[in-house]
Structure formats: structure tokens, C-alpha cells
Chains A and B, each alone.
Chain A
Amino acid sequence: DTGVSQDPRHKITKRGQNVTFRCDPISEHNRLYWYRQTLGQGPEFLTYFQNEAQLEKSRLLSDRFSAERPKGSFSTLEIQRTEQGDSAMYLCASSFGRASYEQYFGPGTRLTVT
């Protein structure tokens, strides 16, 4: 069990560019979550998947954001036309089972939009 991994760990991009992040959950975990954390704040929920189905999306997930989990394993989070307000740490977490009380977090991808 190697834990949740995220790639890249850091991304610097210019405003208006598109970026894509990847998350690999703990193997056999059927649920995968994306959160965003800005400086001095707690993580905020963005979306979650059960297997390949996206079951819940936050209002924070504007039209410029899209997430996929095509085969129920890894997931990608894409931000189109990035804005400076998108600068944050993007966290991925995974869990297993129906009574999934424990979410295991990855190290995060830090996005800086210049």
C-alpha cells in the first residue's frame, strides 16, 4: 500500500492556460475525492467519485473545472482558462466501502497562477 499519490506536486502556470492534475488513489479504494485548500483555510470539498461515477459536485466547481475517473482508478482534475484565484493546494483523497469514514489524503498539488 503506497498511499495516495498526486502529480505534479507543484505547478506554475500563466493566467489563461489550462492545467491538469492527476491523482492515483490507494489501490482497491472505490471512492475518490478532490478538495481545494487556500492559505490559512481548511480544505474545501470540490467533488467525489464512486468508481467511475461522479456523484457529487460542489458549487465551487465552476464550468472551468472538470474531473474524470474513467476506469474507476486514477482521476484527473482539469482547470481551463486559469485565473489567479485558482491558486491553491489541490488535494485528493480516497476511501473504501460504503461506510467510508476514513479518507486518506495525498500530498497535494500546489498550483500557482501568475
Chain B
Amino acid sequence: GNSVTQMEGPVTLSEEAFLTINCTYTATGYPSLFWYVQYPGEGLQLLLKATKADDKGSNKGFEATYRKETTSFHLEKGSVQVSDSAVYFCALRYGGGGSEKLVFGKGTKLTVNP
């Protein structure tokens, strides 16, 4: 079945450090890929998305590229801020057969220290 595997956390970085959170997926067909973020005490928010191979999603300085050959969608940011501290979830949506559900990874908790 469809599944998402993402880097185990927690991840702790200093402000202005480079961030990578790895995400790989297993899916039949051509899923859409997402990164969601959950700030403390808040609901899930869509951070960025990519709907086909080689697409790059970007938002708020975060980027991720849909790599079909490696079935990956790694999240990167060149310089993290304290305000980026949150839990990040990689997810896929496989539209084949009419399914609309999102399949999530377990989440990676990021803490950025000043």
C-alpha cells in the first residue's frame, strides 16, 4: 500500500543552521506530495506541495523537490529561525481510484535554539 517514511526526530538546530528533513514514499502511480507543519497548540497547516515529478514546492524559505527516481521529497531550508520550531509531516495523496485521503509520515519535531 501507499506509505510515507520520514526522518526520525527530534531535530535540534541553532538559529541560521541548514535544515534537511528526509522523506521517502511508496506508492503506485503518481501521487501528489505535501509537507504540513504543526506549530505548538495549533492545527496542521499546508507548508508546500508538488504534484508531479521534478516539481519544486516552496514557501517561507522552505523547499522540497519531487524526485520520482528516488521516491523522495526532502524538506530543506537554508537558514532556520526560532519561529520554525514545530512538527513537520510529509504526506502523499494518491488520487488513483478516486481516493482523496492523505497518507502521513510520523512527523519530525524540530527545535531551533537562539
Report A's interface with B, CB cutoff 8 A: 4, 31, 33, 35, 40-45, 48, 55-56, 58, 91, 93, 95, 100-108
**By the criterion CB–CB under 8 Å, are A56 and B99 in contact?**
yes
Decide: A41 near B32, CB < 8 A? Known: A33-B101, A48-B100: no
Extra contacts besides A35-B102, A101-B49 (4): CB < 8 Å: A33-B101, A43-B44, A103-B46, A105-B45
Q: Is the interface of B mostly helix, strand, loop or mixed?
A: strand
Report B's interface with A, CB cutoff 8 A: 4, 32, 36, 42-46, 49, 51, 89, 91, 93, 98-107
A95-B36 Cα distance, complex, nearest whole Å: 15
**By the criterion CB–CB under 8 Å, are B100 and A107 in contact?**
no
Decide: A48 near B101, CB < 8 A? Known: A40-B106, A43-B44, A101-B32: yes
**By the criterion CB–CB under 8 Å, are B101 and A56 in contact?**
yes
Closest-CB distance, A99 to chain B (whole angstroms): 8
**By the criterion CB–CB under 8 Å, are B104 and A33 in contact?**
no
User: Which one of A41, A56, A107 lies within 8 Å of B43 (CB-CB)?
Assistant: A107
Chain A minimum-CB-distance residue to B87: A42
User: Which one of B36, B43, B101 lies within 8 Å of A45 (CB-CB)?
Assistant: B101
Give me 29 A-to-B residue pairs in the complex whose CB atoms sit less than 8 angstroms apart, sorted by A's number: A4-B43, A33-B101, A33-B102, A35-B102, A40-B106, A41-B106, A42-B89, A42-B107, A43-B44, A43-B89, A43-B102, A45-B102, A45-B103, A48-B101, A56-B98, A56-B99, A56-B100, A58-B101, A91-B43, A93-B44, A100-B100, A101-B51, A102-B46, A102-B49, A103-B46, A103-B102, A105-B43, A106-B43, A107-B43
> Which residues of B have CB within 8 Å of A108?
43
**By the criterion CB–CB under 8 Å, are A42 and B91 in contact?**
yes
**By the criterion CB–CB under 8 Å, are B102 and A31 in contact?**
no
**By the criterion CB–CB under 8 Å, are B104 and A107 in contact?**
no
**By the criterion CB–CB under 8 Å, are A43 and B104 in contact?**
yes
> Which residues of B have CB within 8 Å of A100?
100
Most chain B C-beta atoms within 10 Å of own C-beta, residue among A4, A43, A48, A107 = A43
